[in-house]
Structure 1
Amino acid sequence: MTEVKTSKNWRSGLSVAECNRYMLKNEIHSDVTFLVGKEEKLVRAHKYVLASRSPVLDAMFYGDLAEAKKIKIPDIEPPSFDVLLRFLYCGDIALNQDTVIGVLYAADKYDVDELKKATQLFLYWGDVEVNNDTVIGALYAAEKYNLETFKKATESYLDKNITNETVFSVFANAKLFGLEALSKKCIEFMNEKGAYVFQSPFALEISKDTLKEILSSDNLDIEELKIYHFLISWGEGQCEVKGHEKSDENIRNQIGDAVYRVRFQFMDLDMFVKNVCRRNILTSEDKLILQQVIVGNLEKESTKFNFGKRKPTLKVCNVLRSGSHLESWRYFDHKRRRQDHRTVPYWKHH
């Protein structure tokens, strides 16, 4: 507790709200401490004032499960918590686009109805700029409080900011909040730029369900061997997070049935033996079955693997003419084991 030393009666001429503000700012007779945000900033306050304004804080301080003097609040950052306190102490509402999402979350968490209504109105009428730091919170607020206009703004922002680095998080949140059009756009982006997207370090952080959905696409433009190597890297990452040894057995346990989304039959036998058979990600039985499929000795339908052919979007080469010069592309036909020199469609990033 801190008492401000002054010969003047600071209360003179101040309203109740102004006295509360002064005591909060100068930590006079404070009896509870909050550790706010990721950095655990120290914020001192008064139980009586907070309990009189919030039923949740009342139960926190005076209920059967009352908490200790120091209370951690990791899910609200200091600027938003400061706005909450000023409202509880003085009725002040000081919202801006940087804090409004956090304040709405705080008001909802502590059941402060008037502040919650004020933030919803601000989101509805205010010119709130959505950015990388606020977009997920904005989606949460728009979905929970049925703010359709704001929801469209956040969806539009995500739509325009899909990159190799962001596409996985955008896709996961689009699925979470039921944004079907945005989910479809993410899938199309990953289909087209698969070879680059899977090189992003953020790809290793996706959930298993997201991974399986992406690999189920028949339009993914990436070689199956690269998908297989990515799966192993993803499995190693999961082992590291969970403190497991990065053995083939543990990696396979993490990958699970996602491995059945790899179209192994589109590898040639030599590639399959050198890259797949030398490790124990697949069982011996699965390796034998896939080898038989690759050489044509077993019906594909008798296995649990996906044998659908991926069909990435075709892009026609530009034919460059300079006098009599014609730039041609070499086309290799694996089935007929021959090469043609001709201008042909090619797979992007192939």
Structure 2
Amino acid sequence: MEENTKEVSIGWQSDKPLSKSLVLLLEKELWTDVTFTFRSEEEVVEVKGHTVILAARSPVFQAMFFGQMERKREVEIEDASPESFKLFLKCLYTDDVDLDEESVIRVIEIAHKYQLGYLLDLCSEQLAKSIRVDNACHILNLAVFYNLNKLQKEACNFVDDHVHEILETPGFMNISVETLRVMLAGDTLYDEELNIFRKCVDWAENKCKEQNLEPSDQNKRNALGDAFFFLRLPSLSLFDYTENVANTNLLSTEESHKIYMYKGSPSLQMDLRNSIIQRKPRLATILLPGDQMEIKFNCPNDIYLLGVMLDQSKEYLHQYQVPSFYSTSDENNQPDRHLSAIALHGELVIQETGFNVTFQTPYLPKIPNFISLNEKVLLKGNNESYTITLKVTLCTSYNVLYLEQLRNIFVEEDNSLNRYQSQYRSICCDRESSQVRLLKILYKGWPCSKYQHFITGLQFQNVSNR
């Protein structure tokens, strides 16, 4: 066993957490017992490690160093650079994956080889934060190749949200056929099907060129493999199908005939190989009849409920004036609208799930209001029936700093005006002159009013089927 303790002193561990102690062991090569070698035409590079730490993290290293075969003291690495392997070892020793996009990808490639599942999860979470339109296809390709399910889901959701832009990127042309199949299989890959079809044909033509094959229709079809069957060709209009698909040799005569039969009579039971499931947008809205505080609806597929829309068009809602504060010390008696605002407070209940949430949202007269839930609510599909009930209160909310100054509040009802008048008296400090002055505020309107609000729609997110 190699021992290198010249650069450390007794007690160096006392003020360090475990991760920093392990990093020091690695960087200073203290008490290492295995050497990884990297050979090139110019030189041989050595990277040292500790078998017990490596075996504690990886079943591959455990079998390599403590299996039935002879214990290895030197391991030659041919599929990674010394720099990448050092980065990988540091992550293995510390679980610190605060890396840039390129570095985390290199760590993923090595961590997959040595079956470090926990480290792969950390890397996936890190990489998911950097998904953009220009790299989404590359990250999805990586997730599919290494079977990183969490990262694949995040990448697919991003692709669904930006499908039109992503189909135009060079990265789309470079994905594997397996990744293309994953993309096309998603019911929420929502774009014009004709555009998706054309981009896939372009992708297939590019693959033919890469393999030095003639870009014939048959070779394109072969390049697409079973991903071809996730093209929703039966959903195309009759004109688009005839003009762009039927006049090619991408389908056999029998396949094309069946699609024509289906389009002529969708109720016929046809053995279609291409999916007939209509793609759905990620974000969608269900419009509902108004005049109800309780609604029932059927859920055909799994959705995440994001919020509900409220009707603000009822005339009786607009009889109220937006409340204002009037200062008696103001000569013009103009309202100070910075001192008050209107808000909706309420409770939303989904009876069948037991879900209950309170909410607060600004009140916008004559503009449809949307109540956004703080958390997504999963509602299962298969035409399950759900009932949503809503209780709403309209009230005023005051400037917090102003509330701290209020004293001696009283409210009196004026029957002649059929409204409430509230007077607020407060002794406030004038910061500029440091003098105490009397401030009298008259509030016109209503501090709180319960009334009927009507649900007019639901906003939701379709759950990906990948």
- 2:265 maps to 296
Distance in 2, matches of 1:199 and 1:320, equals 41
Q: Distance in 2 between matches of 1:230 and 1:279?
A: 15
Q: Which runs of 5+ in 1 are unaligned?
A: 1-52, 58-70, 73-80, 92-105, 327-342
**8 Å CA contact retained: 1:165, 1:200:** yes
Structure label with greater radius of gyration: 2
Structure 2: how far apart are the matches of 1:165 and 1:277?
A: 33
- The letter of the residue matching 2:260 is Q
Tell me if 1:240 matches 2:213.
no
Structure with greater proportional helix content:
1
Map of 1:212 onto structure 2: 181
Instruction: Report the alpha carbon displacement of residue 271 of structure 1 after superposing the two structures with TM.
Output: 1.3
Separation in 1 of the partners of 2:100 and 2:85?
A: 23
**Could you list the per-position Cα deviations for residues 160-199 of structure 1 after superposition, in whole angstroms to 9, with x for gaps in the alignment?**
1111221222122223444322211112122222222111
| Contact residue 258 and residue 270 of structure 2 kept, 8 A | no
Structure 2 CA distance for partners of 1:238 and 1:197, relative to 1, 3 Å: same
TM-score of the pair, normalised by structure 1: 0.56
Question: 159, 165, 172: which is aligned to 2:134?
Answer: 165
Superposed displacement of residue 225, structure 1: 0.6
Write 1 or 2 for the structure with the bigger share of strand: 2
Sequence identity, in percent? 23
Cα drift, residue 147 of structure 1: 5.3
Check if 1:109 corresponds to 2:85: no
On the 8 A contact 1:228/1:262 being kept in 2, the answer is yes
TM-score by length of 2: 0.43
CA contact (8 A) 2:95 2:119 kept: no
CA distance in 2, matches of 1:261, 1:283: 16
CA change 1:277–1:135 in 2 (3 A) is same
Pairing partner for 1:282 from 251, 262, 271: 251
C-alpha change, 1:140 and 1:293, in structure 2 (3 Å) is same
The root-mean-square deviation of aligned C-alpha atoms, in Å, is: 4.1
1:188 corresponds to: 157
Post-superposition Cα deviations, 1:235-260, rounded to whole Å, max 9, x if no partner, equal 10011001111222222221233221
Structure 2: which amino acid aligns with 1:234?
W
SS at match of 1:135: helix
Aligned residue in 2 for 1:34: none
In the alignment, what sits opposite 2:171?
Answer: 202
**Structure 1 pair 118/184, CA: closer, same or farther in 2 (3 Å)?**
closer
Q: Cα deviations across residues 201-256 of structure 1 (Å, max 9, x unaligned)?
A: 11011111111121111121111111110111011001100111122222222123
Distance 1:323 1:209 in 2: 51
SS, match of residue 302 in structure 1: coil
Q: Is the 8 A contact 1:292 1:298 kept in 2?
A: no
- Count the aligned residue pairs: 239
Q: Where do 5+ consecutive residues of structure 2 fail to align? A: 1-34, 49-73, 288-308, 314-363, 369-455, 462-466
For 1:116 and 1:253, the matched residues in 2 are separated by 37
Cα deviation for residue 109 of structure 1 reads: 0.7
Q: 1:325 to 1:55 in 2, by over 3 A?
A: closer
Distance 1:320 1:247, change over 3 A: farther
For 2:24, the equivalent position in structure 1 comes to: none
> Once the 2 structures are TM-superposed, how far is the Cα of residue 150 of structure 1 from its aligned partner?
4.5
Equivalent residue of 2:101, what SS?
coil
Change (3 A) 1:256 1:299: farther
1:130–1:138 Cα contact (<8 Å) kept: no
**Distance in 1 separating the partners of 2:460 and 2:258:** 29
Residue 9 of structure 1 corresponds to none
Contact 1:236 1:246 in 2 (8 A): yes
1:347/1:215 CA distance change after superposition, 3 Å:
farther
Question: Tell me, what secondary structure is at the counterpart of 1:220?
Answer: coil
Give matches, 1:64-213, under 5 Å. Answer: 85=45, 87=46, 108-109=76-77, 122-123=90-91, 124-125=93-94, 129-145=98-114, 150-213=119-182
- Which of 262, 276, 280 is the matching residue for 1:311? 280
Distance 1:257 1:139, change over 3 A: closer
Pairing partner for 1:229 from 178, 198, 201: 198
Distance 1:294 1:109, change over 3 A: same
Distance 1:255 1:325, change over 3 A: same
Amino acid at match of 1:217: G
Distance of aligned partners of 1:131 and 1:273 in 2 relative to their CA distance in 1, 3 Å threshold: same
Give yes or no for the alignment of 1:273 onto 2:245: no
The answer to whether the 8 Å contact 1:165/1:197 transfers is: yes
- Note if contact 2:98-2:126 (Cα within 8 Å) is conserved in structure 1: no
